Homo-oligomer: A and B are copies of this chain.
Amino acid sequence: MAIKGRSEDLSSGRVRLGMVGGGQGAFIGSVHRLAARMDDHYSLVAGALSSQKKRAVASALELGIAKDRAYGSYEEMAAKEAARPDGIEAVSIVTPNHMHFPIAKAFLKAGIHVICDKPLTTTTKDARELVALTKKSKRIFAVTHNYAGYPMVRQARAMVAAGDLGKLRVVQVEYPQDWLTERLEASGHKQAAWRTDPKQSGAGGSVGDIGTHAHQLASFVSGLTLDSICADLTSFVKGRKLDDNVNILMRYKGGAKGMLWASQVAPGNENALRLRVYGDKGGLEWSQESPNELWHAPYGEARRLLTRAGNGADEAAGRVTRVPPGHPEGYLEGFANIYTEVAAAIRAARAGKKPDAAVYFPTVEEGLNGVAFVEAAVRSSAKGAVWVKL
């Protein structure tokens, strides 16, 4: 009932963490903080929480950050923290997409580990630069494709890898929401505004915001690599600058086929990420809104409902599990698993060791794959929804 990296043993000290973005009123920043706090592996000690100095400082003080570590800019924070003997070991980047790249670059160059929200960057060029820089700097770089943190997603991946489904044939992934059914961005809604603004979001709308999650989840669980896609992106809401509905056909290397649907204009859907994978020996189905369950259909046998920590749960799920079966874990716990795994890796790095083989978090390379996926989708759609290689 305890993940290895999740021991409450604090004898080696918490990881010193800073944050860029996430000031008062921001949503994802508070999620990152809670995720970092859940298993008690981090101390939030520094922040450049807003690009407005005053708001940045006020936000930091509220969070118990010392005044001298409440920075007005990420550049200042990277420089000063790198110079302190008790400077931060890692930074969380929770700004709009277009700022991920310069900020991550600054901290990597300052020798600080990076935990960055998705999508990694707004261009593959930038993403490739971060991959190279990560390699060169030997720092840890995690991208919070948080759905890979769910225990039953881990188990799904392990089952596919173990051959439980046989050779994969079909991947169906979808991620419908409804919160952009109307033109929310015109009403002063901050989240909607930057997500539908190409300057802050990049060239992808829904495809970047949620399509990347769907793509990462499908890739993570299936272990497959995309060969080419045919994407039909649509902007249904009048006046909207970016896509709000995403229909994609996928062809994987090795012959498997797939479909991906992402939408932010599908009334009745809250956050309905769902993955189905089929091979010649069986199928799996997982839904983010019922994350403690995983359906397994061995071909020719009755379907089984595998549950987190319950009968049928395996080691892959067990190590990222906190409470017994029937005591639901949710979004925050899954998100926290990413942070906790990163903490295990940072502690290993402190000791000059490799992390335990079971430690997993989405890497900068996976971040690059996500950006490449968005670029390919936009390119395909712009040409009339034709097949493009990844």
Residues of A near any B CB (own CB < 8 A): 1-2, 8-11, 14, 27, 30-31, 33-34, 37-40, 61-64, 165, 169-170, 172, 174, 177-179, 181-182, 230, 232, 234, 236, 245, 247, 249, 251, 257-259, 261, 263, 265-272, 276, 278-283, 285, 288-292, 295-307, 310-312, 322-333, 384-387
Residue among B61, B177, B310 making CB contact with A270, cutoff 8 Å: B310
Contacts A10-B63, A63-B10, A385-B387 given; indicate if A329 touches B330 (C-beta within 8 A): yes
Additional A-B contacts beyond A11-B62, A179-B324, A301-B312 (13; CB < 8 A): A34-B38, A172-B174, A177-B326, A232-B257, A267-B297, A267-B298, A269-B297, A288-B328, A300-B311, A302-B305, A303-B311, A328-B330, A330-B330
Contact B230 A385 (CB under 8 A): yes
Contact A322 B34 (CB under 8 A): yes
Contact A328 B289 (CB under 8 A): yes
* 7 A-B pairs with the lowest CB-CB distances in the bound complex, closest first: A268-B297, A271-B326, A270-B326, A302-B312, A328-B330, A327-B331, A330-B330
Across-interface contacts of A299 in B (CB, < 8 A): 178, 181-182, 267
Across-interface contacts of A310 in B (CB, < 8 A): 270, 302
Question: Quick one: closest B residue to A39, CB to CB?
Answer: B34
Contact B329 A9 (CB under 8 A): no
Contact B266 A283 (CB under 8 A): yes
Across-interface contacts of A311 in B (CB, < 8 A): 300-303
Question: Quick one: closest B residue to A174, CB to CB?
Answer: B172
Across-interface contacts of A285 in B (CB, < 8 A): 268
**Assembly CA distance A276 to B267 (angstroms):** 10
A–B pairs, 14, beta carbons within 8 Å: A8-B30, A169-B245, A172-B261, A179-B324, A181-B299, A266-B276, A267-B283, A267-B298, A271-B324, A288-B328, A302-B312, A304-B305, A329-B332, A330-B333
Question: Quick one: closest B residue to A1, CB to CB?
Answer: B27
Across-interface contacts of A330 in B (CB, < 8 A): 292, 327-330, 333
**Assembly CA distance A103 to B114 (angstroms):** 45
**Assembly CA distance A323 to B28 (angstroms):** 9
Across-interface contacts of A261 in B (CB, < 8 A): 172, 259
**Assembly CA distance A387 to B38 (angstroms):** 46
Question: Quick one: closest B residue to A258, CB to CB?
Answer: B247
Residue among B234, B282, B295, B333 making CB contact with A332, cutoff 8 Å: B333
Indicate the member of A268, A298, A331 with the most B CB atoms within 10 Å.
Answer: A268
Across-interface contacts of A312 in B (CB, < 8 A): 301-302
Across-interface contacts of A289 in B (CB, < 8 A): 292, 326, 328
Nearest-Cβ distance from residue A43 to partner chain B, whole angstroms: 10
Contact A170 B265 (CB under 8 A): yes
Across-interface contacts of A178 in B (CB, < 8 A): 283, 297, 299
**Assembly CA distance A265 to B245 (angstroms):** 27
Nearest-Cβ distance from residue A324 to partner chain B, whole angstroms: 7
Question: Quick one: closest B residue to A261, CB to CB?
Answer: B259
Nearest-Cβ distance from residue A337 to partner chain B, whole angstroms: 13
**Assembly CA distance A182 to B167 (angstroms):** 12
Across-interface contacts of A259 in B (CB, < 8 A): 247, 259, 261
